[in-house]
Structure 1
Amino acid sequence: MTDTVKIPGQTAPAPDALLKVDGLVKHFPIKKGLLRRQTAAVRAVDGLSFDVRPGETLGVVGESGCGKSTMGRLITRLLEPTAGKIEFQGHDITHLGVGAMRPLRRDIQMIFQDPYSSLNPRHTIGTIVSAPFKLQGVTPEGGVRAEVQRLLELVGLNPEHYNRYPHEFSGGQRQRIGIARALALKPKLVVADEPVSALDVSIQAQVVNLLDDLQDELGLTYVIVAHDLSVIRHVSDRIAVMYLGKIVELADRTALYESPMHPYTKALLSAVPVPDPRRRGGGSERILLKGDVPSPIAPPSGCRFHTRCWKATERCKTEEPPLIALAPGRQVACHHPENPPGEASGASGAVPVEIGKPVPAKEAEEPEEAEQPEEESEESRESEEE
């Protein structure tokens, strides 16, 4: 599906890797004074390493400000990385200039988060969607207008709206226009920066299903950035959890949701609302993290999550945990992971008791003690009736 080129002096990427990121770093300098000297830096992305295989969807989740959107713009080379390496189909594109990146823009596209600000209000929909053809000098079969109308119909819009302006469309329709523009040149990799966060809940499902259908039809590869865990679970094959500029866990979707290993991942999943009242409180406890997210200007030493983690030790404060494989397809950056492989079922069952407050644990014991007198009272009543 993809043509890989071997670069002399570089380690060849995995044969099935379309995108390979190694040690990606992006620091935004903070300058003060008349001489505009750099006094500090915002460490938005601070060492990311992962790969994306052809045809799969990698979901990236985390709190606001953890560097998800910055990571997406670095992958598409809309931002210049401070350090690290980005390989696409075996080519090192980390520091390519504008001219050298232009041919690759056909294969790497981005869907922006805000459908209101990502479309030029002075241009018609036909001009917006046809812009990639003009910039790349591509003339599709049947003409540009016919191809744009086909793309509009592909994303669920009326082809007759070719001459309308963005303000005449709703938020969901504008996002569909952004999707049509991103798919105009049939890219191989699409980075979607929270594609449904600005849409109504009733529209989110339609756009998510549209992305799934287009992936099956066109063979696309997605990197979807989102903070909605339910959306990520529906569309992703693998999920990367970010915290303060770093990936703390990278795992398969099913394994991550069934048995999260990093405490931060467990806290995120505990916040997912359960719509079925019969399933609420069924062994899962709500984990309330204390304190605020530390500043990316001066992140904590050691493990960056230790200031809010209930399992933190002195080792966590001084030694930064590396992102290592604890199980097949599971990479975790934690000194004291949850549900470690090979742990006995009895030991794993004691973990939620440590996570929750003492009150839920006592409540879990009280019903067992309360059941005994109730059973004895029923037996005594039956004997009295006889």
Structure 2
Amino acid sequence: MSTTPVKAQRDGQEPILRVKDLKKYFPRKTSGVIRRPDSPVQAVDGVSFELYPGETLGVVGESGCGKSTMGRTVLQLLEPTAGTIEFKGKDVTGAKGRELRRLRTEMQMVFQDPYGSLNPRQTVGSIVGAPFAIQGITPEGGVKKRVQELMERVGLNPEHYNRYPHEFSGGQRQRIGIARAVALQPDIIVCDEPVSALDVSIQAQVVNLLEDIQNEFGITYIFIAHDLSVVRHISDRVAVMYLGKIVELTDRDTLYADPQHPYTQALLSAVPLPDPRKENKRDRILLTGDLPSPINPPSGCVFHTRCPKYRTLTDTEKKRCVEEVPLPRETQAGHSVACHYAESTNLAIV
């Protein structure tokens, strides 16, 4: 397993990435091409975290919570609305032109759709070799030799260099995307649900490939996923997002053994246990209502409209949830929770 943040700090390493109060708002169209800047979609709303060299930060949450938008904004595939992005101690927020092109050699992405992210008119050789062409880099032995080495490294036949994406299976296409992402040996790769579109048997192969590549090249991952079991397997730390905010952030073992935010508890209660006896005895936490709109999120704590704990509070405590935004606070070392009344539970996922 890659270096944990605790070890990184103990060894005196600085974070490779610092994200502070990152926001991404989208202007909303009301009619035709007219946009209303006064009522934007608040896709990412004040996200902060640090990422250490060689670690994997898992990001989980419901569809529409802002996970993918956060990942794309960190890489500045989407321009941040506010906040700062520090990479290797340098503020790279709003990088343009030559600076942004240089960053592309150090920060890359593996996309969710293994077919939609590949140009159907280009051969695999052209797709995987594109980073070299764009950056004007000629690897030792030539581009073709290096591309075929990358194809072999990710489990593809180098002889298929001239084939097109439609001639490969979904799992193979995702391996093409991974080969393209690691071509220039970047420091950080954002994996945006890289296995969600694949069969379960293929998911394990792709996750193991990502781990092997991480160990070989020392790459740092932001791993976005729905599947909590996959996140638990690959991640060092896990961030739980809800409606554009990180509501809980800690190391994976602590999160799964002692979830403290009500939303995290509800997510983990939905994960089936392999032991039927334990599964039958466990209570499922059901969230009421639908995910609120990011155009008009609830006041105070954005989760209070669906929070099972909110319904058990006194009127004074409820008023605080409605009126006061809970700031992330450490309930124990390295365990950050954005909840006024966070407390331990016995919802351990074993």
TM-score > 0.5 by shorter chain:
yes
Instruction: Give the equivalent residue in structure 2 for 1:101.
Output: 100
1:31 touches 1:40 (CA, 8 Å); kept in 2? no
1:330 aligns with 2:335: yes
Instruction: Give the equivalent residue in structure 1 for 2:176.
Output: 177
Instruction: Give the equivalent residue in structure 2 for 1:80.
Output: 79
1:324 positional shift: 1.3
1:241 touches 1:247 (CA, 8 Å); kept in 2? yes
After TM superposition, list the pairs within 5 Å mapping 1:156-167 onto structure 2. 156-167=155-166
Flag the 1:31–1:139 CA change in 2: closer, same or farther, 3 A.
same
* Among candidates 15, 22, 35, match of residue 17 of structure 1: 15
Q: What one-letter code is carried by the residue in structure 1 that aligns with 2:78?
A: L
Instruction: Give the equivalent residue in structure 2 for 1:303.
Output: 301
1:281 positional shift: 3.2
Deviation string, structure 1 residues 139-179 (Cα, Å, up to 9, x no partner): 11111111000000000110100000000000000000000
Q: What one-letter code is carried by the residue in structure 2 that aligns with 1:188?
A: D
CA distance in 2, matches of 1:257, 1:206: 23
Partner SS for 1:31: strand
After TM superposition, list the pairs within 5 Å mapping 1:1-386 onto structure 2. 15-32=13-30, 36-38=34-36, 39-282=38-281, 284-312=282-310, 313-339=318-344
2:27 touches 2:35 (CA, 8 Å); kept in 1? no
1:99 positional shift: 2.4
Moved over 2 A (4+): 31-37
1:59 touches 1:225 (CA, 8 Å); kept in 2? yes
1:315 positional shift: 1.2
Task: Provide the TM-score with structure 1 as the length reference.
Answer: 0.83
Q: What one-letter code is carried by the residue in structure 2 that aligns with 1:156?
A: G
2:51 touches 2:57 (CA, 8 Å); kept in 1? yes
1:248 positional shift: 0.1
1:32 positional shift: 3.3
CA distance in 2, matches of 1:61, 1:203: 21
Q: What one-letter code is carried by the residue in structure 1 that aligns with 2:169?
A: S
Partner SS for 1:314: helix
1:36 positional shift: 2.4
Identity percentage of aligned residues: 64
1:35 positional shift: 8.2
CA distance in 2, matches of 1:310, 1:293: 14
1:191 touches 1:224 (CA, 8 Å); kept in 2? yes
Deviation string, structure 1 residues 335-364 (Cα, Å, up to 9, x no partner): 11121xxxxxxxx66x99xxxxxxxxxxxx
Flag the 1:150–1:241 CA change in 2: closer, same or farther, 3 A.
same
Unaligned runs of 5+ in 2: 1-11, 311-317
1:90 positional shift: 0.9
CA distance in 2, matches of 1:183, 1:326: 37
Task: Provide the TM-score with structure 2 as the length reference.
Answer: 0.91
Larger Rg: 1
Provide the aligned C-alpha RMSD in A.
1.6
Q: What one-letter code is carried by the residue in structure 2 that aligns with 1:325?
A: E
2:238 touches 2:252 (CA, 8 Å); kept in 1? yes
The structure, 1 or 2, with the larger RCO (C-alpha pairs under 8 Å, 6+ apart) is 2
CA distance in 2, matches of 1:73, 1:263: 27
Deviation string, structure 1 residues 196-235 (Cα, Å, up to 9, x no partner): 0010111000000011111111111000000110000000
Instruction: Give the equivalent residue in structure 2 for 1:360.
Output: none
Q: What one-letter code is carried by the residue in structure 2 that aligns with 1:117?
A: G
1:290 positional shift: 0.5
Partner SS for 2:280: coil
Deviation string, structure 1 residues 90-141 (Cα, Å, up to 9, x no partner): 1111111132211111110000010010000000000000000000111111
Partner SS for 1:25: strand
2:119 touches 2:127 (CA, 8 Å); kept in 1? yes
CA distance in 2, matches of 1:56, 1:300: 34
Unaligned runs of 5+ in 1: 1-13, 340-347, 353-386
Deviation string, structure 1 residues 21-58 (Cα, Å, up to 9, x no partner): 00000000013357825152100000000010000000
Deviation string, structure 1 residues 249-293 (Cα, Å, up to 9, x no partner): 0001000000101000000000001233233234x3111111000
Aligned residues: 329
